[in-house]
Amino acid sequence: MTDFMKIALEEAESAAKRGEVPVGSVLISPNGEILAQSGNRTEELADPTAHAEILVIRKAATLLHSPRLVGCDLYVTLEPCAMCAAAISFARIRRLVFGAYDPKGGAVEHGGRFYAQPTCHHAPEVVGGMEERKAAHLLKAFFNVRRGHET
């Protein structure tokens, strides 16, 4: 499992180099193959929905010619926001593995706790905190630089 998170972390690092919030994601097929990987591209694409999770879900759905990604696992470096949590549910992703917790913007373990709502039709298995320190460090370093503080 951690090999996939390492790839997600590499995607997050690449996103930071492009000036994007450093979040990376990888979507894995039921047989363990990488279907898609990406980092955030909201600035580059001028698209508020271009979060890493959305980008990999779109790519995999196109590749598989299906809006449902049953049996697939998603690795992401940050707890998904409400938009991404909903997309993960709608895609019927089997397992969500995330790195850093996000008390401010997360919607899985924080905020609206999307998967715990009675209106949620599909809740993936959730594993939080994988490579949490590395993921959190990337985010903190990125925002420290943006705010003019040393890392």
CB-based contacts of 146, cutoff 8 Å, min separation 6: none
* Catalytic residue of the set 11, 53, 79, 131: 53
What is the rounded CA–CA span in Å between residue 82 and residue 66? 22
CB-based contacts of 22, cutoff 8 Å, min separation 6: 12, 13, 15, 16, 39, 40, 77, 138, 139, 142
Check if the beta carbon of residue 57 is closer than 8 Å to that of residue 87.
yes
Annotated active-site residue 53? The verdict is yes
CA triple 78-82-84, angle to 5 deg: 60
Check if the beta carbon of residue 11 is closer than 8 Å to that of residue 38.
yes
**Catalytic amino acids?**
53
